[in-house]
Chains A and B, each alone.
Chain A
Amino acid sequence: QKEVEQNSGPLSVPEGAIASLNCTYSDRGSQSFFWYRQYSGKSPELIMFIYSNGDKEDGRFTAQLNKASQYVSLLIRDSQPSDSATYLCAVNQAGTALIFGKGTTLSVSS
């Protein structure tokens, strides 16, 4: 059974701090890794994807991938109250469907 694990949270950080969201996956053959943000009652929205080991930065967001440790993370710098949402990690292997984690709820307090 291929699994994607995330801490459910809630993860609480003050405004302006760095939020660190973590995800582990069980399938060593996984090739692509995605982070989605989902506001309550809304559809998931793609934030970033990464498929090479190392860091990938996009504005305030940085995705980090370590395939040897089967670990992917999302850092949010200068967290804002509008970042409060559930963050979903998803992985897939070529030719297979996306597998989602259950999500981590982030709360940013002003």
Chain B
Amino acid sequence: EAQVTQNPRYLITVTGKKLTVTCSQNMNHEYMSWYRQDPGLGLRQIYYSMNVEVTDKGDVPEGYKVSRKEKRNFPLILESPSPNQTSLYFCASSWRISGTVPSPAFFGQGTRLTVV
């Protein structure tokens, strides 16, 4: 089954304790991205990756890191989480964005993170 898998689904952590949210896709997609979703603010892109070893900042990258060592995996790293990073996080993947071919994003199930 084609899917994007995030883990964990729920996480409660304390301020300053490093954490990693994993994301894996089995569709051979080249493009992957991370979003956070907060009430009233919609989906905001944190980081994205066009391919292996190619990553770039989205709209709200502060406090986050990513890596893309393999095509299928795109982990999100919070080196020193703070309460303002409490949010619902989504990983998404899509085909290579080029030409005029529609390239919809497929989303993981989401990770609800609480930083206390």
Contacts and interface: CB of A to CB of B under 8 A. Distances in A.
Judged by DSSP, the binding face of A is: loop
Most buried by B among A41, A44, A95: A44
A68 interface: no
Given A94-B97, A97-B48, A46 B42 contact: no
A97 B98 contact: no
B42 A103 contact: yes
Nearest to A35: B104
A61 B12 CA distance: 39
Nearest to B58: A97
A96 B48 CA distance: 10
A92 B104 CA distance: 9
Interface residues of A, number: 23
B35 to A, nearest CB: 8
B89 to A, nearest CB: 10
Interface string A74-103: 000000000000001010101111101111
A95 B94 CA distance: 12
B86 interface: no
Interface of A: 31-32, 34, 41-46, 49, 51, 88, 90, 92, 94-98, 100-103
Closest 9 CB pairs of A and B: A102-B42, A43-B107, A100-B43, A32-B102, A49-B102, A46-B104, A43-B110, A44-B107, A34-B104
